[in-house]
Each structure stands twice: as C-alpha cells, then as structure tokens.
Amino acid sequence: METSVSYILRSRKNAERRRRRRRKLILRWTLVLSVTAVLIFLITQIVTAVLFFGNVRAKVALEAGGPVPAAEEFLRRPSTKVQCLTDLSQIDSKTPGTVKVVFKRGLLKKSSALEIKDTTAPALKVQDVTRALGQTVQAEDFVVSAEDISEVKVSFAAKPDFSREGEQTVKITAADASGNRAEAEAKLQLVGDTEAPVITGAKDMIVEVGESISYKADITVTDDKDPAPKLEVDNSAVDPDKPGTYEVTYKATDAAGNSSSVTVKVTVKEKEKEPEDAAKAKMNQLADGILKKILKDEMSQIEKAFAIWRWVRLNVPWIGGNVEHDPVDQAIKGLSGHSGDCYTDTCACQALLERAGFECKFMQRSPGIGYHYWLMVKIGDDWYHMDPAPIYIKTFICFLGTDDQLQWFTDTQRPNYYTHDTEGLPKTPKEPAAKAVYKDGDYQLVLP
C-alpha cells in the first residue's frame, strides 16, 4: 500500500502540473487576443486611411471668376469626420492657377488641388468707324466693350489699308491674359479730306510790358473730318518785355495735311502809371510798415523774399471759397491780418514784394478747374514760383519752387492744383535757389 506521504507528494505534483498548464493556456490566449486586437486596430486604421485618401479628390476644376467650391465638393462622399484646413473664402477665383486645399481626419492629412482656369474668351462688341483719309485709326477706336475677368488687349487681326479711300471690312481681335481670343468684324470708311480746319477766336491783343500772354485763350479749332486737328502758335517774334507791335501766327493742321492759318497783332505797351488813390496809398503804407519790421539791410534777396513769404503764411489766416477780384482791397485785407483765401494771400504777398523792389508775375490756375493763385518772383536773373497760401505744408512747401516741383505736386499729390498756361512765362531753373521747411509751428529757410 502506498504510504500517505507518497500520496501527498504525488498529489502536489499533479496539482502543480495542472497549474502550469492553466498558466500556459491563459498566456497563450492572452497573446492570441493581443495579436488579434493589434491586427484589428491596424486593419481599422488602414481601412480608415484608404477610405479617407480615396474620398478626397485629387483635383477640382473651376472656371475663373466663378464661385469657389464648398469643401464638400472636394470629397467623393460627404463625411462629418473630415475637416478642411484651408480657408476657402480667401481664394481669389479670378486669378488662374492652382491652389492647394488641405483636408484632415484624425492624424491623417490629404491635399487636393483647385485648378482655376480661364477658358472663356472676352465678350467683344465693336462699332463701325468713319475717318478721314490719312487719319490715324487704332483698333481701340472700333471697340465698344471688351469684357473679361482679366486685362484685355485689342488689335487688328490684319492691318487695314489706311491709304485706300472707301469702305473695307476689318477684323478686331481681343485677347485676355490667359490667351483666350475673340474676333469681331466692323466696317472702316475712309473718306477723302480736302477741307482745312477753321480757326476761331484769334484776335489782336494789347498787353503791358511784363504781362503774361495767354495765346490760346478763347481759341478753338474745328474740322469737318478730324475731331482733333493740331494747333501751332508761332509767337517767336514777340518780346513781352519790350514795347512794340508784333505778329503771332496760328496754324491748324488736320490729319489729312490740310492746314489754315490766321495772323494777329500783339501790341506790347509801357505800363500805365496809375494815380495812387486812397486805397493804394493805404496798401503801400501797410506794406512799408511790415517791411520795416521784417527786413534788414544786410539780408540777401533770398532772405528778404523768405521773410516776406513767411510773414504772409503766418499772419494771414486762410479760409477757402472767398475769391474777390479787387487786388488792392484784398492786399489791404491780408496786410491788416484778416483772414482770406489764396487770392488774398497772393495779393498781400505781391504788395510786400513789389514795395521791397522785387519783380513779380501774378499766376492763376487754368480756367474751368477751380481757382488758385500764386506768384512768380525774380531772384537775380532767374524766376521762381512762390505760393504764400498756408496749405499743404506737410506735402509741399512752395517757396522759390521750380516748374518741375509744381508739375510733380500736380501729377502725384493734387490733380490740376498748379495747372496753368505756360506760354509767355519764363522757365525756372531745374534746381531751387532755396527751400523752406515747417517745424514747430514756424517756417525756416534752408539754403543750398
């Protein structure tokens, strides 16, 4: 018989073997389940990635100028889990090109391309044109409209024969920035022209020595065929600083070469000495009193001119829209320290300058584009512009300004501000003799 001790030992061994088998079985199933979970996770991610990448379209086409597609239009299937990272509202649909559009799902990202193409030709509308034989005709003359989202250039498909009188058909081509082209036909009628332009308004003139002469004032030129005939004025014989009678010839020429001319006489006479009335006496008295305070004998011409210009800018308050055409009254008003407009400032400045011995010319903006007045003053042998109106001090200070400076201000800062008739006026030097700067509520003179 087996002893109890042997039995107990054997039972323990059997129990240990059973426990080892159970642990191995649990470990085996744990490993199987773990591997299965990992495989399921990987398969799920792969499927998700495949579905996501496959759902985002590689590209979406858009006709330039059309509405930008919504984010859903870049997907093959709607999905609330896919996020568009690109701000579609900032895309300029009028500019052809390719825009990258990025989508995201979880950690995955996929790009699509929005291809903006301009395949639409310009909408071209033309008209027939009649011109005089020999007159210049451009392709633009035939175009009523050429609508497109980009810049359109028009040209002749084939250059017309501008030397042939009569009617001919021309083809106009309109091409946009993407190379799309449209063509349209129009009629060109070239008519023989033998009639010369007509000059009206030319008349004899009487001016005083030193007075500016507006040769083209009130002159009009008309032609039966040419809408813009060329006008030339030959005033080379006129000496505005010397008394005498001179001839000025106006010549008008149309596109066909027909011309006509008119000759008038310009009489330059000595300045009449006007009797000094009470108003002028008061003006001179006020001017002399101011000059006594602001001028010193040791000053140069430039320094004296600056002192006068500075006094007007700082002591005549400016208000607009008060033009009065009595120079003496306006000079008195300005010299007395009352407010006024640019006419008041200019009259006061001219009175001071002339009492100080300077030669001046009263300047006026061209008629039809508003009022503005300033002076030209002679410094040594040269003439310069001087604007005493205290406006636009930060943009441009016109003290001894040149023609180029006034043209720059007119072209870039204030359209037509210094536009004026330059005929008969002296040319300024290219460089200013001095300039003024505005600082801390006062003007300072800067010499070269």
- Render the burial of 192-220: b for 16+ CB within 10 Å, e for the rest: ebeebbebeebeebebeeebbbbbeeebe
Q: Region 32-41: what's the mean pLDDT?
A: 83
pLDDT tens digits for 251-279?
999 888 899 999 999 999 988 765 568 88
Three-state SS annotation for the chain: CCCHHHHHHHHHHHHHHHHHHHHHHHHHHHHHHHHHHHHHHHHHHHHHHHHHHHHECCEEEEECCCCCCCHHHHECCCCCCCEECCCHHHCCCCCCEEEEEEEEECCEEEEEEEEEECCCCCEEEECCEEEECCCCCCHHHHEEEEECCCCCEEEECCCCCCCCCEEEEEEEEEECCCCCEEEEEEEEEEECCCCCCEEECCCCEEEECCCCCCCCCCCEEECCCCCCCEEEEECCCCCCCCCEEEEEEEEEECCCCCEEEEEEEEEEECCCCCCCCHHHHHHHHHHHHHHHHHCCCCCCHHHHHHHHHHHHHHHCCECCCCCCCCHHHHHHHHHCCCCECHHHHHHHHHHHHHHCCCCEEEEECCCCCCCCEEEEEEECCEEEEECCCCCCCCCCCCEEECHHHHHHHHHHCCCCCCCCCCCCCCCCCCCCCCEEEEECCEEEEECC
Per-residue confidence (pLDDT) for residue 135, from 0 to 100: 75
Which pLDDT does position 106 carry in this prediction? Answer: 87
pLDDT value at residue 132: 80
Instruction: Kindly state the average pLDDT of the residues 169-192.
Output: 93
More confident position, 246 or 227: 246
Domain with CATH 2.60.40.10 in the chain: 123-191, 198-269
| pLDDT value, residue 276 | 61
169 pLDDT exceeds 60? yes
446 or 41, higher pLDDT: 446
Mention every residue, 6+ apart, whose C-beta is less than 8 A from residue 39: none
55-117 has CATH 1.10.287 classification:
no
Architecture of 198-269 per CATH? Sandwich (2.60)
**pLDDT value, residue 275:** 57
Segments of the chain assigned to CATH 3.10.620: 278-446
Rounded to whole angstroms, the Cα distance separating 150 from 145 reads 14
CATH number for 278-446 (one of 2.30.31, 3.10.620, 2.40.160, 2.60.40): it is 3.10.620
Q: What is the CATH number of domain 123-191?
A: 2.60.40.10
